[in-house]
Structure 1
Amino acid sequence: MSLSLRNLDSTAPDFARQLDAVLAFDAGDDAAIDRAAADILAQVKLHGDAAVLDYTRQFDRVSASSVGALEIPVAEMQAALRNLAPVRRDALQKAADRVRSFHERQKKECGSAGFSYIEADGTVLGQKVTPLDRVGIYVPGGKAAYPSSVLMNAIPARVAGVHEIIMVVPTPDGVRNELVLAAAAIAGVDRVFTIGGAQAVGALAYGTATISPVDKIVGPGNAWVAAAKRRVFGIVGIDMIAGPSEILVICDGSTDPDWIAMDLFSQAEHDELAQSILLCPDAAYIRAVEASIDKLLPEMPRRDVIAKSLTDRGALIKVRDMTEACEIANHIAAEHLEISAAGSSQWAEQIRHAGAMFLGRFSSEALGDYCAGPNHVLPTSRTARFSSPLGVYDFQKRSSIIQVSQTGAATLGRIAAELAYGEGLQAHARSAEFRFK
């Protein structure tokens, strides 16, 4: 099976245009999908449980007398965990333990304890960090099941101290995935409802008679879920609008080309819109990777998906040197960046934009998806230029603490009053002046 992948060369006069064409992706600004999501949200806001039941019957072919009947009891989640094959249960538990350990360390290191300090005049300033009360976790269902997404979304919320975690997962035709339910049990999810789509987002955002409204919604979904999350942002918080999965590999030509080919496959197999790109200064090595792709692809169960992804959105790019590879990587700002090269830490110093970095030839991106520990919910579609992986900090909020002493009120009051008069806000000025005149 021979693929015709795009081969680019950074020395080409129109390379920048070619690269931008590879990266171009319309993240689902489909007007029809947006209108449909808006209509569903409006119905859920107006009719609550009745609308959720109607859409669940319509889209997932699941009928129920009440939304309560679509809730999975905790006992069923625990039973799903007990019934897993021992080797799979052990793998799930070990992955959860590593994810929890990383996020507990993250909580400690990222200022989750808050702070305060006292100025010379006795004024106290600081910041209080508190967890969100209630969060909703969307877990995709249908074509594939993602227990790893349950761990990555629920565990940092639990570590942050979130009081209640509500999970929604569509179950088309009533088929429930035992591994997803087992992951919910391990991660400490409080309630699970078998609903999905924009109607699930609406139920979490607005609340219904059965489902309490949440403060934030996290987790990936299809185009309707993404459109719904955009529309409810502001009523609730959201993590991000996730696009197709991406991998960018920088390789110096010293890694087994079969390894790199399989790393490119690991993202391409997600779906046809996923993106896999290789940057390398060695033309002969790029040809070797192409040969590995042709050799290994026929044995892949999802070879058709991989082939379309690589053909439509993949690229093999010859660069001048590793320094230029890092510059191009910063432009791409990929979700996953592998630096499969000698001295990978040295090259990582030159990277400013990446969702997660995998350093050295033994650090396959797949390990990050499941069990390395850091979160696999990452910014896509070049948003790593300004956003970060999901973490404990996403489930907390910060309140400023200002306790002004009598002496401080006089000092700060004069400054505030002068600026307030300059803005024409006399009440502001006099409010400050009352405390020292």
Structure 2
Amino acid sequence: MSHIVIIGAGIGGLPTAYELRHLLPKSHQITLISESESFTFIPSLPWVALGLKSLKQIQLNIPKLIQNKGIEWVLGKVTGLDPQAQQINVGNTMIKYDYLIIATGASLNFSNVSGLGPINGYTQSVCNPHHALLALMAWNQFLLSPGSLVVGAVPGTSCFGPAYEFALLADFQLRRLKLRSKVPITLITPEPYAGHLGIGGMANSRELVKKCLQEREIEIVENAAISRISPNTIFLEDNRQFPFQYSMLLPPFNGPDFVRSYPGLADDKGFLPVLPTYQHPQFESIYAVGVVVKINPPESTSIPVGVPKTGQMTEAMGMAVAHNIAVKLGEIKPVSMTPTLAAICMADFGDKGIIFLADPVLPESATGNRRKSVAYSGRWVSWCKTLFELFFLAKMRWGMAVPFFESWGLRALGLKLIKPINVSEKVETQEFTLKV
């Protein structure tokens, strides 16, 4: 019998636990560890922050979800990891593992810019449930005395979709409340251009994003580095200043502290290098899923930006990891898999939205191109995002990772989540190549 431990019960960890339980017989123990009892559908947090949806609507109780599903549950924070001894510490409890899957999601680096963040700074965030509720409280106060609204991201940010979504949803809400004329909106981004998204070359995303912002009379400040923030002013490195009454700025992401504290395990930001199997190159018992995976940007930019790891990419990583552990344990045919890193991102703007599709998320190294790269805009995108949220929450209730009909739907779009690994790829690490 083997013990597989999964740290994190979000969009990466929970579906991976379900897939492992589906692939492995009951003789293998699966333990899921999380700091919260709630599963949160993170992509919907901009709606929560603007009062369009309650947090309760996008959360599920994890202990109830996994009850009677053959998955053990530990509530707590991982404080230590010893890869040599293959053990972790959760508070005062030591847990041994045969395989460890790190799927913790993002650790938010608000210290990167003075004045950033809702706790020790002056800006709001939609990166976790607590921050979304704080953003909602601040938004309700803002509506009583509206003024300048500044939305965007600081250098090093890797997930830009929520910034565009928040700016355009705020515009939508303010128009409904007949307050838009009192609120000038500015979007500040470190991207070389709006719609770059940290990956560049995304079909017509540049034109679509810029058109949406201009139609809503939102000022765009591109290739901009925010250097510091005072209680009511954002300062750029080029000395430009932007006053605000309300600001939502996305921070850079880091890996978790327990990963960064072990020398040589991760890079200086806590991101883990992985093989195409999504195993760590030095510690074969450790796998990584989601934000904690180290992926290098496809191009250098004058202001640093990171590569996004979308929900679909994270799910694909989890499916590959579950499959590869089952192969290691001899429970399925010995064909290792790797995620395709195809990415679908839906951004809702209230009365319309944009869907981005990149397959793979980074251009293939051999050709310099993607197999597929499209962006579409329309009211139907808003409906699709709502339906996908409902579908994903339903999957988590059912205890299913990727139902067969979801796989069929992806195939109809010409997409796959995972694929077999070629022999030549087995020795390469994700840190140096994404040629899979």
> Structure 2-normalised TM-score?
0.29
Give the structure with the higher percent helix: 1
> Structure 1-normalised TM-score?
0.29
Give the structure with the higher percent strand: 2
